[in-house]
Amino acid sequence: MNSPELSNDLRRTLPIGIFDSGVGGLTVYRALHNRLPNEHFVYLGDTARVPYGTKSLATVERYAIENSVFLASRGIKLLVVACNTASALALPKIRATIGLDVVGVIGPGARKAVAVSGPQPRIAVIATEATIQSDAYAASIRQACEAAEIIQLACPLFVPLAEENWTDEPETRSIAKRYLKRVVDFAPESLVMGCTHYPILRNVIQKTVGANVKLIDSGEACADEVAALLKEKGLENPREVEGKRRLCDDLDHFYVTDAADRFGRVAERFLGAKPAKLEAIELGEVDSRR
């Protein structure tokens, strides 16, 4: 955990922590990296225990706390929960455990969808079955605007298609057309891509629902809110970066709980680069009761 005695000047130079149940959170890392080029990041992919969507509330909370405690032990100034399931179920427990600012992906995505839509917004949400069943996006959208009309659809096959980088194959277009028919019929103003994998398929999703529908990347919305929070708290890193930083450079550290080689390959598909620092760890080495 971070020492409360740390000066604000020292805290400003600490990294931002990010965790996900696997590789999908790399799209959130990319959004944060692009939005905040002066910051550096520590990413944990809990690849040994993915997926979280089939687990009980108690199990998701336990995993999320273990992940959060590990990242806090690395010395971070803020935590981003890139996992939609953990964002839906575990944020209060995480905040109570690590004593740091914590930002999930669901609230920012929901608020952005309302902001870009009209006074009586029509919003579609596509996500995994577990996220849809949690009703977390719909609840967050209604919290931002009670008048919102919402349609929610699970698109589970989008995850393996993204991981295989099948972004514009005929099969992908056919699956997208079948999944999103109800969205097209609903004619939303905005569509929330409520799974971290889905931005990889952004082009085929946009072509399927039509150019007039605003696509909301929850990772990008999260990055905007993180930027605002850092500014509000006076925690922006003062380091100035010359030129454009490369994704996955040696300023960022990646950890996984299993299958590091596969993580590196998927990272290259998602981001165009393999992590310069990639390390496999055992979460059991960290005492989650601290």
Whose structure tokens read 């336990």? 62
Identity at 185, one-letter amino acid code? D
Out of 145, 195, 222, 248, pick the active-site residue.
Answer: 195
CB 98 within 8 A of CB 69: yes
Out of 83, 155, 222, 248, pick the active-site residue.
Answer: 83
**Those residues with Cβ within 8 angstroms of residue 112's Cβ, 6 or more apart along the chain or in another chain:** 216, 218, 220, 221, 224
Q: Is 83 a catalytic residue?
A: yes
Closest CA to 257 of 66, 100, 93: 66
State the DSSP string of 31-61: HHHHH-TT--EEEEE-TTS---TTS-HHHHH
Q: Which two tokens stand for residue 284?
A: 């059991």
CA angle 54, 96, 279 (to 5 degrees): 60
Question: From CA 205, how far away is CA 222, in angstroms rounded?
Answer: 20
State the DSSP string of 71-101: HHHT--SEEEE--HHHHHHSHHHHHHHH-S-
Q: How far from 128 is each of 1, 94, 133, 194, 240, CA to CA, in Å?
A: 32, 22, 9, 8, 38
Question: From CA 134, how far away is CA 279, in angstroms rounded?
Answer: 32
Identity at 6, one-letter amino acid code? L
Other Cβ atoms closer than 10 A to 209:
23
Q: Which residues are catalytic?
A: 83, 195
